[in-house]
Structure 1
Amino acid sequence: MRSADTPLAVPRQALAEATAPAGRGAAPLVITIVAASGFALTLVVFWPGVMTFDARFVLEAARAGTYGDWQSPVLAALWRVIDQWWPGPAGLLVLTATLYWTGFALVGAALTRRSRVLGIVAVLLGFTPPAFMFLGILWRDVLFGCVWLLAVALAIVSTARLRDVPEPHALSRATVLRAAGIGRLALRLAAVALVILGVLLRPNALLAAPLLIAYAVWPSRLSLRRMALLYVPAGLALFGLLQLVYYGVLGATREHPLHSLAVFDLGGITHFSGDVRLPGAWTADERRRLLTDCYDPYLWDAYWYGRPCAFVMERLERRERVFGTPVITTAWRDAVLTHPLAWLSHRAAFSRTFLIGPTFTLWVADLDDKSRLALPDNRAFAAMVAVHDVLKPTLLFRAGVWLLVCVLLAAAALRRRDTPAGAFVVAVAGSAAVYVASFTLLGVAADLRYAWWSIVAVLLCLPAWVATARR
């Protein structure tokens, strides 16, 4: 007997479901109107897109055609193409908004098979702060989240059963089944491709991507055994693809972004152990500052251009030129092995800041003078910022809350992972939990934007989880 997950394994009663749209009545129309309204509102509020330091850096690299790996060279190459058609930030804003609202609309349409109300609620959740409030800020973390959003949306849509077969003289049963099988395969291949694109935009997403790849391939039911067997081979394949695309296809310059993590960890170990582990011959005053003044659990920039400790990277990168060499990796390894508790204390301090503490949220500063605001010239954005300022002290703007909800949703849906909605919740919430948790070991800054995918994942999974309870 064929598996029900294969295109040709459609039971007789499902043939009565052939070509009608997902959901009946006005639900599809309402979903379309809400998504279109959300897209329009996004452009109204954020036009032409809020540029950040990272965005300006990537756009300049895109226009110069010189790629490095400090930011994703794939993003720079993509923006280079967009900029030729739509110069400036607006093109990327339109792309991000399109991915976001299309993804929510597709998930809503898929859920109307269980409940029209759930389908409509699913797309309305796209307006939830802080998900919507980050949408027009041009960070790759937001684009990455939108790419994965569309990926999982395509996967759950591919689980739709056939319905309302046309009259025999219009289409044969075999023709309908064949077309359905081709359509499902195309949707799942597109979903896998988008998951891979997400990794190319955010390399540390590699740890979570195998979960979504397994889901995209088998979205009707999720096998934990299958997922476990796929995890390591998929991870290795993605790592190899990163090297090929970054350095083979795009010829990106190696700028050693992982060494920023090493410097941050070395500074933290120095602070918590009382033993200066940063390589170099430091003066007595510099050693004192390294032990007492330099460490900031929020981000590594204190050693880069922050005061009073910019001398650290000045020496490592320019004077002694050991940044980007094995000297840094060797010093990191030796420091962790010598002072493991100090390293854990540093990582715990960073994780506490990232997950619990108030963190940086919206970018509203002028790129050339951070003491001034640089807001899009419209009242809608100013009104959104005013709402943001009221909500920022609440749990909505704490990364740890969204991580916890992801874990709870994935655990609650495990019993229903043999259903499309249950598999969706386990895979999406689980991938978001793994992705956010990876920053506890790999993070060098504690901004909320790094947890944005978990916010979107929760909004997608809440109505899907309710759908599993209505089974």
Structure 2
Amino acid sequence: MCYDAVNQILEAREGLFSDWHPPLMAIIWRFTDNIMPGPAGMLFLQLGLVWAGAYLTFHAFFRPYGGRVAALLLGILLFLPPLFGISGAILKDMLMWGGLFTAFGIAGHIKNDNKQNPRLAFRLFALTVLVLWLAILIRHNAFFATIPILSFAIFCLYRQNSVFGLVRSAVSAAALALALFVATGAINNRLADRHTYPWIANASFDIAGVIKRLEDKGRQQAIFDQLASSLNSTGSVEPLLKAYTPMYWREVFRTKPPTLQLPTNSMESQIHGFESLSDLQRQALHTLWIQTILAEPVLWLRHRLAVSKYVLGLVPDNSWSPVMMAKDFPVDFERAYGAPHKQLNCKSCLRPVCPSMLNTGFFNPGLILF
């Protein structure tokens, strides 16, 4: 388990859920933890979704082209390092992937023709929508992957081999995905006992990215002053310029002494995020966020493109791996969850080898896109 997972299992056991991570995952974990304490229950759930998706995808898309050869090709896909490397880590990303994979496999069985009962086709479509909604509830940015899968499902349900048919499927899918996304926000808001305002992290990150790329020193300091004021911080813009990296939003809060101060206990065993900020401060930051993007859309886009390179693994000096965690387990987590298990010999042997392998093409997450 990485730090995110430790936070979530603590919330599951306490029965108090924050919206820093999707509350539904902690709620599900509360159930599985009663049956199989620890990470094993969640591991079986997420791997069950992945392999259910593999089975359904095989029968829908691979089996017609030869069972043995096609099975080998699908197996190679599942054991690519970007996928296999994180499949044993407890992550909301894994549950999202399992949900998307399973939904894609279900959609592949929708055959609205004379060979399939129309009621069965519609039920398969409804099940596809429900599983995609689960993926969005587990991780909100599943919204983007939901649109093409929904487009495919709608096309299979109302097959029309024309440009109009493709456009209709795409527009309908986007509208339905947006409805699911909005409903997800409302549901997560109701499920959360603590509201942490995680959007503030993205807002601060975006504003810092624009400040870094501004050439006018006066404007840099002026925008920084507004940003710092909304976060109960003070100081000069210079440490922020040195600390900023598109790799991770928290870097701008890690200057020593801190220029932008994270609220007390914001990232501890009970995540409070930014709930200590007043409504007035949050509103001021939200306004500054929108104004900064509208005033400097090109600089904001450059910032976001730089972030995307890190996310897709296109930057050789960064390879984030949730399965090779550092040895410094947080003390507050250790008190609440227990000391980490002794590292296995296998992991000890892999630790020095993996960093050199991460820069090879096989470990490029962008490989999954193809």
Q: Structure 2 matches for 1:373-388, cutoff 5 A?
A: 378=344, 388=354
After superposition, the Cα gap between the structure-2 partners of 1:246 and 1:66, relative to the gap in structure 1 and judged at 3 Å, is same
CA contact (8 A) 1:52 1:367 kept: no
Equivalent residue, structure 1, for 2:65:
114
Q: Is 2:305 the counterpart of 1:348?
A: yes
Q: Structure 2 matches for 1:158-237, cutoff 5 A?
A: 158-159=110-111, 181-219=118-156, 223-237=165-179
Equivalent residue, structure 1, for 2:89:
137
For residue 264 of structure 1, report the CA deviation from its aligned partner.
0.4
Q: Is 2:215 the counterpart of 1:255?
A: no
Amino acid at match of 2:329: D
Q: Is 2:329 the counterpart of 1:368?
A: yes
For residue 124 of structure 1, report the CA deviation from its aligned partner.
1.7
After superposition, the Cα gap between the structure-2 partners of 1:319 and 1:195, relative to the gap in structure 1 and judged at 3 Å, is closer
2:11 to 47, 57, 61: 61
1:359 to 315, 319, 325: 319
SS of 2:41's equivalent?
helix
Cα distance per residue 1:225-277 (max 9 Å; x no partner):
222331442133113311332123x2443321111111001111122114132
Equivalent residue, structure 1, for 2:292:
335
2:251 to 302, 313, 326: 302
Residues in 1 aligned to 2:344 and 2:213: alpha-carbon distance in whole angstroms: 47
Equivalent residue, structure 2, for 1:269:
210
After superposition, the Cα gap between the structure-2 partners of 1:345 and 1:80, relative to the gap in structure 1 and judged at 3 Å, is same
Equivalent residue, structure 2, for 1:72:
22
For residue 123 of structure 1, report the CA deviation from its aligned partner.
3.7
Q: Structure 2 matches for 1:452-467, cutoff 5 A?
A: none
Amino acid at match of 1:208: A
1:104 to 45, 54, 67: 54
* Structure 1 residues without counterparts, runs of 5 or longer: 1-50, 163-176, 406-471
Cα distance per residue 1:288-307 (max 9 Å; x no partner):
212x3221121111233x23
CA contact (8 A) 2:239 2:255 kept: no
Cα distance per residue 1:46-99 (max 9 Å; x no partner):
xxxxx1100011111112222221100111111111112111111011111211
CA contact (8 A) 1:108 1:118 kept: no
The structure having more radius of gyration, on CA atoms, is 1
1:154 to 106, 115, 131: 106
Cα distance per residue 1:136-160 (max 9 Å; x no partner):
1111111110111111112213449
SS of 1:293's equivalent?
helix
For residue 328 of structure 1, report the CA deviation from its aligned partner.
0.8
SS of 1:208's equivalent?
helix
Moved more, 198-207 or 276-285: 276-285
Moved more, 103-112 or 194-203: 103-112
Equivalent residue, structure 2, for 1:429:
none
Residues in 2 aligned to 1:117 and 1:319: alpha-carbon distance in whole angstroms: 58
1:238 to 180, 183, 186: 180
The number of residue pairs the alignment matches comes to 334
Amino acid at match of 1:103: G
Residues in 2 aligned to 1:190 and 1:309: alpha-carbon distance in whole angstroms: 52
Moved more, 387-396 or 97-106: 387-396
Equivalent residue, structure 1, for 2:365:
399
Equivalent residue, structure 1, for 2:260:
312
Residues in 2 aligned to 1:238 and 1:109: alpha-carbon distance in whole angstroms: 28
Equivalent residue, structure 1, for 2:75:
124
Residues in 1 aligned to 2:179 and 2:171: alpha-carbon distance in whole angstroms: 14
Q: Is 2:242 the counterpart of 1:293?
A: yes
Residues in 1 aligned to 2:328 and 2:105: alpha-carbon distance in whole angstroms: 35
Q: What is the CA RMSD across the aligned residues, in angstroms?
A: 3.3
After superposition, the Cα gap between the structure-2 partners of 1:158 and 1:333, relative to the gap in structure 1 and judged at 3 Å, is closer
After superposition, the Cα gap between the structure-2 partners of 1:192 and 1:235, relative to the gap in structure 1 and judged at 3 Å, is closer
Cα distance per residue 1:109-149 (max 9 Å; x no partner):
33212222343224422222221111011111111101111
For residue 216 of structure 1, report the CA deviation from its aligned partner.
2.8
For residue 353 of structure 1, report the CA deviation from its aligned partner.
3.2
Residues in 1 aligned to 2:364 and 2:43: alpha-carbon distance in whole angstroms: 25
Moved more, 306-315 or 390-399: 306-315
For residue 203 of structure 1, report the CA deviation from its aligned partner.
1.0
CA contact (8 A) 1:155 1:191 kept: yes
* Structure 2 residues without counterparts, runs of 5 or longer: 265-273, 332-339
Equivalent residue, structure 1, for 2:337:
none
For residue 359 of structure 1, report the CA deviation from its aligned partner.
2.4
Residues in 1 aligned to 2:4 and 2:244: alpha-carbon distance in whole angstroms: 23
Q: Structure 2 matches for 1:80-91, cutoff 5 A?
A: 80-91=30-41
Residues in 2 aligned to 1:225 and 1:55: alpha-carbon distance in whole angstroms: 40
Residues in 1 aligned to 2:137 and 2:276: alpha-carbon distance in whole angstroms: 33
CA contact (8 A) 1:105 1:123 kept: no
Identity rate, percent: 23
Residues in 2 aligned to 1:124 and 1:314: alpha-carbon distance in whole angstroms: 44
After superposition, the Cα gap between the structure-2 partners of 1:132 and 1:325, relative to the gap in structure 1 and judged at 3 Å, is same
SS of 1:255's equivalent?
coil
TM-score by length of 2: 0.78
